[in-house]
């Protein structure tokens, strides 16, 4: 069964499935970000879902970030969407060069994370007189 997700990219949302971008513009294509130990993000293609109870031994656990919704269809629409708060990480696995969302009871596994926010507008007011 095909699934689709919505992830936040800069200030917009991108809907993707395991094959392509459904809606939205992103130079990353159907790649999604995982949080590395040093705080940076690593983008890899989205591969679909993997059942948490049946994970292969060589799958590497990762923290997927900026995912905001999950659907059990390949078009990213419908009443079966599962909303994920923006400040949450989603458990995933890196397997054969793709990120897979971990699910249990047909829902993605997620938890709240604390990430420092970057203020790009610090001291941007200057006097012109």
How far is residue 49's CA from residue 65's CA, in Å, rounded to a whole number? Answer: 15
One digit per residue, the tens of pLDDT, for the chain of length 129 reads 588 888 887 777 888 888 887 777 777 778 899 999 888 899 999 898 999 888 888 899 999 999 999 888 877 787 888 888 888 999 999 999 999 999 999 889 999 988 655 545 556 666 777
Strand bridging mode 12-17 / 31-35: unpaired
In this prediction, residue 1 carries a pLDDT of 58
């Amino acid at each position: 069964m095909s699934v689709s997700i919505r992830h936040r990219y800069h200030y917009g949302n991108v809907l993707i499935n395991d094959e392509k971008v459904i809606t939205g513009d992103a130079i990353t294509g159907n790649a999604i970000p995982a949080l590395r130990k040093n705080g940076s993000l690593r983008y890899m293609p989205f591969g679909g879902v993997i059942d948490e109870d049946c994970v292969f031994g060589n799958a590497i656990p990762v923290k997927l970030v900026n995912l905001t919704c999950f659907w059990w269809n390949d078009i990213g629409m419908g009443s079966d969407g599962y909303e994920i708060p923006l400040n949450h990480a989603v458990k995933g696995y890196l397997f054969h060069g793709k990120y897979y969302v971990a699910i249990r009871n047909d829902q993605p596994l997620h938890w709240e994370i604390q990430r420092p926010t970057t203020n790009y507008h610090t001291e941007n007011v200057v006097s012109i007189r």
